[in-house]
Structure formats: structure tokens, C-alpha cells
């Protein structure tokens, strides 16, 4: 379906946070998705994915995760300096600040007239996969997708150590995790640790997928992009969300 885009500003902890919002053009009451970028914020590879998801019948709200440290609208280039800049931003942002952002976006989605507040989910990539996992700890989320999530195994997502994985039993909705077997940021040992900890919560509805792909294999602007694996993962993501939210 066709979509429309808008920009929304939210104030969180006295900082202006920009939301990139994509939604169906058709009138309706759609599921809402908190959509997290990787460390490069809202560049075109991420907004294209947000747009594509909106076209499946969702109101997608993507926050600038480093709004406390970067100028409004800043997009970080995915090069060597950009990686350093993004990782520095991540390391200097308190975990509580990420949680406050999630609460603000979910509150905004729930209050939007085009969103069904009883059908909320989260999707995220890289650091955003970890942040989506944390968002999934909130009881109102019905579905969470974590795509090559970094730092779950050791709590590295911001300043201090996050307790995300240890709190997995708090997740009440369904969970989908996606990994790449060639990902140096989530190697096999870390991946196995994450999955074993999740499996220790038998009441959690969890499915995991492993592709022969590298980190960021769904970004269509770099050498690690794998179109075939990205398309396969996308089909699984949309099927999962449709089953849980539609």
C-alpha cells in the first residue's frame, strides 16, 4: 500500500528527539512499531526499511537514538570515522536515557489516532536490536524483532552495564531474533549464550533465525549487504509481525 511520511519532535529529558514517521495513506487504525536504527541513525538505508514496513500496514516511528549528543537530523556516515563516532555516542548515552526514549515513542504511538494502542511492537538493527529487546520488556509490546543485536551477551549498549538479557523473563510478547553466522560483533559463543539464556524462559514465545551473512547484512549501502539473505529475513520479519499484530 502507499505511504506518507512526516517528522515529529518529542521532548525527552529536556532534549528534542526527532521521529521519522511512515504510515499508510489509507485511513485506518494500524499497529504501531517502534523502529530502531543502527549506530548511524536515520540514513536512507534505514528509512527505506521503515517505509517498506509501513507499506505492509503499520505506523512506523523511528527515533534519532543519539539526540542528546548529535545535532537534530544528523546522519552518521557508515565509514571508519562514522563507526567511531557512532560507538562513542552509544557508549556515552546512559541506558536509562534509551529507556526514556522508548517510553516517549510508545506513548506517542499509543496516543496517535491512526494507531491501535493494543497492537504495538518494536524492530531494531545492531544497537537498535538491543534497544528493541529492552523495549520488549515493557508489557504493552506484543511483538519484538531483534536483528543482529549487539551487546546482549555482555550488557554493552550505553554507559554502564545493561541488564537486558538477565530480564528476558519480563518479555510478555513474542520475540524474533535474527543473527548472521559471519557476524564478528555477535560471534557464535555470544550468540549461543544469548539463545541459551532466552531458552531458560520457557514461557517466552521465541523464534530465532541464523543466516550465512555478516553484520548489517540488511543495509543496502555497504559491502556486507546480502540481498538474498536480506530478502529472506524481510519475509520472516513481516510474517512474524503479521501473525502477532494483524
Active site residues: 126, 183, 215
The phi, psi pair for 92, rounded to 5°, reads -105, 10
Residue-wise burial string across 179-199, b where 16 or more C-beta atoms lie within 10 A, e elsewhere: bbeebeebeeebbeebeeebe
Contacts of 84 (CB under 8 A, 6+ apart): none
Closest among 151, 6, 158, 198 to 69, alpha carbons compared: 158
Cα–Cα distance measured from residue 165 to residue 63, given in angstroms and rounded to the nearest whole number? 23
**SS3 of residue 51 by DSSP:** helix
Residue-wise burial string across 156-178, b where 16 or more C-beta atoms lie within 10 A, e elsewhere: bbbeeebebbeebeebebbbbbb
CA quadruple 170, 158, 10, 176: dihedral positive or negative?
negative
Burial class (CB in 10 A: 0-12, 13-18, 19+), 39: buried
Pairing of strands 15-24, 59-63: antiparallel
* Helices and strands in the chain, H and E counts: 6, 8
Amino acid at each position: 500500500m502507499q505511504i506518507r511520511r512526516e517528522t515529529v519532535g518529542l521532548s525527552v529529558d529536556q532534549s528534542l528527539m526527532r521521529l521519522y514517521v511512515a504510515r499508510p495513506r489509507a485511513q485506518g487504525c494500524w499497529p504501531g512499531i517502534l523502529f530502531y536504527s543502527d549506530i548511524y541513525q536515520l540514513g536512507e538505508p534505514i528509512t527505506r526499511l521503515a517505509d517498506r514496513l509501513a507499506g505492509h500496514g503499520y505506523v512506523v516511528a523511528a527515533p534519532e537514538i543519539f539526540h542528546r549528543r548529535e545535532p537534530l537530523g544528523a546522519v552518521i556516515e557508515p565509514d571508519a570515522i562514522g563507526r567511531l563516532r557512532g560507538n562513542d555516542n552509544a557508549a556515552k548515552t546512559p541506558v536509562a536515557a534509551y529507556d526514556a526514549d522508548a517510553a516517549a515513542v510508545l506513548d506517542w504511538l499509543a496516543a496517535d489516532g491512526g494507531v491501535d494502542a493494543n497492537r504495538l511492537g518494536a524492530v531494531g538493527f545492531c544497537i537498535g536490536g538491543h534497544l528493541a529487546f529492552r523495549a520488549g520488556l515493557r508489557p504493552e509490546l506484543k511483538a519484538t524483532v531483534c536483528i543482529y543485536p549487539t551487546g546482549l551477551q555482555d550488557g554493552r549498549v550505553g554507559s554502564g552495564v545493561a541488564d537486558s538479557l538477565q530480564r528476558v523473563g519480563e518479555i510478555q510478547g513474542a520475540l524474533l531474533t535474527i543473527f548472521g553466522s559471519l557476524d564478528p560483533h555477535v560471534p557464535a559463543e555470544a550468540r549461543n549464550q544469548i539463545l541459551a539464556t532466552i531458552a531458560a524462559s520457557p514461557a517466552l514465545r521465541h523464534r530465532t533465525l541464523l543466516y550465512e551473512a555478516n553484520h548489517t547484512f540488511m543495509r543496502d549501502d555497504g559491502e556486507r549487504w546480502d540481498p538474498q539473505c536480506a530478502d529472506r529475513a524481510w519475509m520472516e520479519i513481516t510474517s512474524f509481525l503479521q501473525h502477532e499484530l494483524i
